[in-house]
Every structure is written in structure tokens, then in C-alpha cells.
Chains A and B, each alone.
Chain A
């Protein structure tokens, strides 16, 4: 059935493109145990930086790379607020998110930058294969990018710094006690995370034809939902499996949104369904464990 095929294709594209956001959220929320809410600000930051550079004639690949860098800088700031100024982690993210709204407007100079007439990375990739840009091509392009990022992260999380990062998230006191620099690991982790989120923003902006200062609203919710759904649905064990599961969770989340759109539900109901979905994804593993008698309450770190 055509409609189902189309829906799956669109969800695949969105699952991959927004998957970077989910990976970023995973790194901060799960690996680092750092509740970073600045995602709502760094996502449009990526779009803004890429858009402004592209309309000023910069090569779109460079523009996208610059967007990634800008996100990392934003993440750096969030981490500095927490580690050096001792501002609560949650609040640091919120403060950055609020500040970035104005920063994004300043960067763009206006609320919305159309990219319809610009050459984007998607068009360049299409040109490489001598065809016009299309959804299938976008999927392939982002899939390749996702693969590269996955491999890079997979390697990184097993390096010394990567392991220190994971340890910081597990038990910061212990790491410090052993002489590790948790400030540094926090900074690295939050910077990488926001860099990935901005990368996603840059790619999405180029594909959808515009960068808008409001395009980040709701991203943190989406990222969290994707991570949790991925964990709940795929029960991954091990770094590689988890990273794949996060992409899978994003795909599932966008698929459900797509289904809800097709069902003709008013979008006000859409958010309710999203909420119910996340509740189900959370409740099912819990209930399974409880049934098996294996439930262990998790340690919650602010």
C-alpha cells in the first residue's frame, strides 16, 4: 500500500535526521546524567548558523560543519555554567536555552531565513549522483552520515575520555575520588551532545527549505521520548546496541506521529497520544520487571 510505504520512508528520514538530537540527548541525560535542556536552543542554532553562512555564499558542507561547531560551543557554555559557576545543571540548560533564542535571532537577523534558492548539502549530494534531490536520496545521505557518527561515537565511548565520561555519569564522586577531572568530562560530553543537536538542526533546515527561530521548540521532549522509546522497545545491551536503539526509538516516535497525522486526529490530540506512548514505553519495561521480581529502583541524580 503506497501510503504505508510513503509513511515508512518519511519516518525513516525523520528518524535518522532527528536521531542526532536523540543521540545528543542520550549522551547528556543517560551517559552523563546531566539533564541538559538547552537542546531547544542549540537545534535552531545549527539551523541559523548553517542558513546564514549558506546565504552568504559559503559552501554548504562547511556551513554544516560550522553549525556543528557552534553547537559544541553552546554546549561548552552550558557545561561551564554548571562546572565553573556551580549553577545547577538543569538551570544551566534552561538559561542557555533562553539565551540562545535571542542569539539565534541575532545570528539570523530575522525570524526566518528561506533556503529555497540556495545550494544545500542535499542538492550537492544529489548532484554527485547526477539526479535531483529526493526523499530517497536524503535518506541515503543521512544514513551514511549517521553511520559515520555512530562509528565515531562507538569508538569514542571506549576511549579513556569516553570511559571517563561514562563513569562521571555513573558516579561522579567516585571519579573525582580517583583523581579524574569530572569538570572536563562534563564539558566534553555536553559539547559533543549539543554539537550533534546543531548538526541535526543544520541538516533539517537545509532539507525543509528554511531555518526558523522557533524550530527548536519541543526538541527536548522529542529527544527524550525517542531515547526512552528506543530503550523500552529494543532493550539494548552494550554501547553499539544502545546507539542503534536510540535511532530506532526516533524512527518509532516519528512513525507514530505520522500515523496520528494520517488518522486525521486533531493535533491537540496528537500530543496526548505522544504522552500516552511514552507512558506505555516506560510502564511496560517496569511492569515486566515487576512481574519477574527483578525491579530495582534506579538512583536518580540531579
Chain B
């Protein structure tokens, strides 16, 4: 093919793409509110959060495609995309930005500064520590609110001592690059110090490191606890495999991971956190300003256990605990 033909083809392709933009980019008719949802990475808990948001909105009368339009973007862990997505939401003047996880919440808040687009964060552990809002109770002048997934780590540790009595060394894996996890590990150390349990920490930087980090804990610990760390949870099955092979009880902090093979936790169902966020969004859509809505913590903490997973790891959950559990998974 000669050069002229090449040039023409490429120009034609570009033209097609550029013309297609308005159709796909979604020029909305007046009156339909656009909600931009920014997610940091794909994994079951965050996906469940998003589904909860959509359902929560629907139950309050806001249905995607009907009276609202949801623009969902996922940066798949790419930090440069995080800022791009936030920037796009702001320049396209969406009506609300919902950010699932910390980095994209920060990017959204920064991009929305100076505009009146409210930012609602969710699945963020410590919004005050991350400077998203000035305080839990009230944040005048800040058009930011949201739902935190902060868990009470000491309750989880109490659970571990009930199921694995005599536990002396507790291992944990986390990505030191996730501020939520660093915060939770501090809480872990506090809770364990009070009970005289030693904590063995291993850090990972990518989900590919989880397997070897888990193997390095074998023989060193009596049980393993992991928090809501995005990196570790992405590779959770690898961790489960090591724990089953070596009979080390594994305790995650969220319900979706218990389905995937963890033993038990006082946890949120991330779907509920999403649902709670959806209800908050409905309030904002109905006219309440985000400035006036205080930050909420996940309301529904329940005990969730998986006796079958426990058996595979060599422990039996006392019947009393199974009885008081809200959810019992049987896989």
C-alpha cells in the first residue's frame, strides 16, 4: 500500500474515533444527574462496594439509565490513571464523584477543589488521617463526605484467641504502600500487645509477592491475620493455599475473603458499605449538601465464619461461636 493510502486510512480512523466520542462519552440530556464512580482496582470487596452503591441508589429511586447516569472508571492500580479519571470527571462536570479507596478519593478531592462537585469516598479506612475531612463529626466548608470501612481490630484478635486458644505468635501480611493497611497494622500491634501476643509482620509490594511472603511465615507463627489490604486481598487464594498446606489458621477482615477461604472475622460485607454509600448519595441527589452529612462508619458489622475452611486449616470453630455468627459459609 502506498504512503498516501496509509495516511488516508489513519486520518479516517482518527476522524471516526473523534466523531464517535460524543456518542460514547455520553452527552446527557438535561435533568439527568451524572455520577462518576472511580475505583482503584478490581477485586471482590471493591466490586461488591460498587454493586452496593448502585443497588442503594436504585432502592432510593435513582436508577442508572433512568433518572441518573453512572460513569464507572477503574484505574486498575495505575496511579497516573487515577488523576486522569478524577480530572475527566471534574472537567466533564459530573454531579457527584464517588471514589472507592484512598488514592482516588484524594485525587478526586484535589481535582474538585474550587468547583461545587461533591466528593463521596467509600472503602476508606481513615479519612481524617488521610486529610480528606477535618473531622469525623463535622466538616464545614468541605464538600466531601463518605463511608469508612474502619474495622475494630481488637474484636478480631479476641475472635482469634477464642478459635485458636494459646496463640502466641500472630503473623500478618500487608503492603506498606497502602496507608490503610499501615494504620490497621498499628492497631493490630496495640491489640496484641495488650494480650501478650507477638506480631510477625511481612510486607509485600505487589500481589505477586504474597505467595513467597506467606511461605516465609510458615513455622514462625500460630495463626495469620490480614486486614483490608488491597494488594494482599487480590492474591488471597495464594495465601489460603499456603495456610491450608501448612495448617495455619487464616483470619481475614472482610466477608468476601471468608467466602474465599478465611476462617472468620467481625467484618463488613462490602456490599453493605456500598449500599450505605448509595443511601448517602441519594440524600445528596435529593438536595442535602455533602457539607452537612457527617462521615459514617460501616453500620453493619457482623460475625462471619467459615467452619469448612477452618477444618481445612486444622482448627475447629467452637459451636458457641458458630451459633452467634450472623453468617456461616459452608465452602
Contact = CB atoms under 8 A, between A and B. Distances in A.
Nearest to A2: B92
B107 interface: yes
Interface stretch (B43-51, B69-77, B260-268, B319-327): B69-77
Interface stretch (B109-117, B194-202, B245-253, B270-278): B109-117
B140 to A, nearest CB: 14
Contact of B79 (A13, A217, A266): A217
Q: Choose among B25, B114, B205 the residue with the greatest number of A CB atoms under 10 Å from its CB.
A: B25
Using C-beta atoms within 8 Å of the partner chain, give the interface range for chain A: 35 or more
Which DSSP category, helix, strand, loop or mixed, fits chain A's interface?
A: helix
Interface string B182-224: 1000000000000000000000010000000000000000000
Interface in A92-112: 101, 105, 110-112
B3 A116 contact: no
A215 B79 contact: yes
Interface string A16-32: 00100000000000000
Contact of B81 (A105, A110, A114, A267): A267
Given A111-B178, A209-B107, A261 B88 contact: yes
Which DSSP category, helix, strand, loop or mixed, fits chain B's interface?
A: helix
Using C-beta atoms within 8 Å of the partner chain, give the interface range for chain B: 35 or more
B110 A208 contact: yes
Given A116-B110, A210-B103, A218 B22 contact: no
A66 interface: no
Contacts of A267: 73-76, 78, 81
Nearest to A222: B80
14 contacts: A4-B18, A10-B84, A112-B178, A114-B130, A116-B109, A116-B110, A135-B90, A212-B177, A213-B176, A217-B79, A262-B21, A264-B24, A291-B2, A291-B3
Interface of B: 2-3, 6, 17-18, 20-22, 24-25, 27, 73-88, 90-92, 102-103, 106-107, 109-111, 113-114, 130-132, 175-179, 181-182, 205
5 tightest A-B CB contacts, nearest first: A209-B110, A6-B91, A208-B83, A114-B131, A267-B76
